[in-house]
Structure formats: structure tokens, C-alpha cells
Amino acid sequence: MTNHTIVTDFFLMEFSDSKQLQVIEGFLFLLIYLVSLMGNLIIIMLIAVDHCLHTPMYLFLNNLSFLDMCLISVTVPELILNSLSHRSTISFPGCVCQVLFVIFFGTSEASLLTAMSYDRYVAICHPLHYDAIMNREVCVQMMAASWLFGSIFGVLYSYGSFSLSFCGSRKVPQFFCDVPSILKISCSKMHVTIDISVIFGLIYGFFCIVSIGFSYVCIFNTVLRIPLIQRRSKAFSTCIPHLIVVTTFFVTGATAYLKPVPDSPQLLDFLISVFYSVMPPCMNPIIYSLRNKEIKAALCNILRKLDYYEFYWQKSSNSM
């Protein structure tokens, strides 16, 4: 790895020169971050305590919520800290970690979303064989594979990005360190490692998109042949939220990584980055909880138990 000794830190993009706007921006993203953490933690807690939710679908959703919390925690806390402290620097090791973990958690989430589409395909298109095909061992293997692919691509992309030379500007045209922005400020002419990594990443991303697309073509074909409207609506209600999450994540992620990085990023570039790195962790708890009867039932059961224990505690206190 060359010329790392001359690089001590990088400068992240600032959205405004006004300190007042930076403070507003910091508190806005702090609110988004806390809401995302709370929503995903609630889903994880509900799935853990409610035995009715110990099924493959919710096992995947549990893992997805954990990945969402990790993904948003890689970028947003640094943005909040920089906005509230009116600075824009990030250390070289911190930048390396951001690239590593953004790719790691992003790839793992893409793999998990692919596995979830296959789970819905088996549940709707082959319901009689669902328990045999999607047993716990298969689910664990799928989740382990998603983390494995994430770690492989994370290491490849981070090593490829930071084996380059940085002899000019260290101002990253993004609010966090990502591969396109690092390539933009690098003065290396050859990007062999990162080019190979990008090719493998495109192939893997294309495989995920084709797999998800094929699953949903089969799902919708099967659902439209269901005679009962109630069963058809239930099938759609479990698939549409997942399709919304998948579409948002893949489209914005592909746009952010495939479009040229401008010298002076505009608001649109910022929004695209936010939509694939910040919005999915916020959207997933809302989409999966508001449109999911099992999740809402589990939450109601927990609230009823809490009310019962509170009533029992107050009654015991009054009798003493």
C-alpha cells in the first residue's frame, strides 16, 4: 500500500457554511438516527420474545433489522458529530472503516433481501413444501452466506480503495467515505484491484436483482390465480413491503455507485446517498410493522402484559 504516510485525515462534504443550518442538520439526523434505532430494536425485541414469530420470514427480518442498525451507525453518527461541532474532518483509519463497513453491511443486506424474496417465493408458490425447504438450517446457512459475501466485498473494496495514492485534494465529495468518492480524489492512474472488485460487485448485484425479479414474477403469477380475494390480499400484503424496500435500496445504491462523481456535489447527489444509506434502515421498521398483522399483534400482546404488570404492581403497593 503506497503513500499512506502522507495522508492523516480527509475532509468530508459540508452541506452548508452556516453554523445555524449545520446545527439544524445535526439535530435532524440525530432524530432520524434515534427513530431508526428504536424501530429496529423494537422489531428485534418482538421477534425474540414472541414464539409465534420464530419462523424463517421473521428470522430474516430480525437479521435485516440488525444490519439496518449497523449500516446507519457507520455513517450518520459521524455526520451528526461533524454538524454539531462545525468540523468536517475524518481520520484516515475512520475513512477506511467507513468504506469497509458500508460495503460489508450493504452487501450483506442485498444478499439477505435476495434470500427473503426466495423465502416468499417458496411460501406462496410451494406452500406444501415450505417447512421442508425453508427449515432452520437452510435459513442459518443463507444468513451466514450473506455475511460472508459482505465481508469478502468489504475487504476487497476497502483494500482496493486505500492501496491508491492520495497526493492532491483530500476533500471527499460525499458526507461519508465511499468508493466512488475515494477514487475521485485519488491521483493513481491504475485501479486494478478496485476495478476487479467493481466487476465482481456488478456481477453479484446483477445476480441478486435477477433472482429477486424472477421470484416476484413467479409470486405475482401465482397470487393472481388465487381465487379468494382475502388470500390474495394477504399474499400481496407480505410481498409489497419487501418489494418497496428492495426497489429503493437497489435503485438508489446502483445510481450512487455507477453515476460519475461531480466535482461539486449537488443536492440530488446528497439525496441519492441518503436514500440508500439512511432511508432503508428508517423505512424497514415502518413498512414491516404497519403492514404486518403478526408484528402488530405481538406489540399489542407486549403492551397488554406491561399494563397487567403495572396494574398488579400498583395494587400490591396500595395493599402494603
| Domain extent listing, the chain | 4-313
Check pLDDT > 80 for residue 178. Answer: yes
* Mean pLDDT within 99-127: 90
Cell 413444501, located at residue: 129
Provide the 10 A C-beta neighbour count for residue 177: 26
pLDDT, average across residues 91-105? 88
Q: In degrees to the nearest 10, what's the CA dihedral of 217, 293, 70, 122? A: -30
Please indicate whether residue 195 or residue 150 has the higher confidence score (pLDDT): 150
> Which 3 state secondary structure label does DSSP give 10?
strand
Q: Of 160, 163, 156, 161, nearest to 172 (Cα)? A: 161
Lowest mean pLDDT among 61-65, 180-184, 260-264: 260-264
pLDDT at residue 307, as a whole number: 60
The pLDDT value given to residue 105: 93
Is residue 291 within 8 Å of 237, Cβ to Cβ?
yes
Q: Assess whether pLDDT exceeds 60 at residue 188.
A: yes
Q: Which has more pLDDT, 96 or 240?
A: 96
Least confident of 212-221, 253-262, 296-305: 296-305
- Residue 300's pLDDT is 76
Alpha carbons 320 and 312: distance in angstroms, whole number: 13
Whether the predicted pLDDT of 50 surpasses 50: yes
CATH class label, 4-313? mainly alpha
d(CA 133, CA 123): 10
Question: Of residues 291 and 130, which shows the higher confidence score?
Answer: 130
pLDDT at 238: 66
Between these two residues, 167 and 99, which has the higher pLDDT value?
99
Q: What percent of the chain has pLDDT over 90?
A: 18
pLDDT tens column, 224-243: 777 766 666 666 666 777 77
The whole-number average pLDDT for the span 249-277 is 76
Residue 212 identity (one-letter amino acid): I
17 pLDDT more than 80: no
Mean pLDDT, residues 66-74:
92
d(CA 42, CA 21): 32
Q: Residue 23: is its pLDDT beyond 80?
A: yes
What band does 104 get if pLDDT is binned at 50, 70 and 90?
Answer: very high
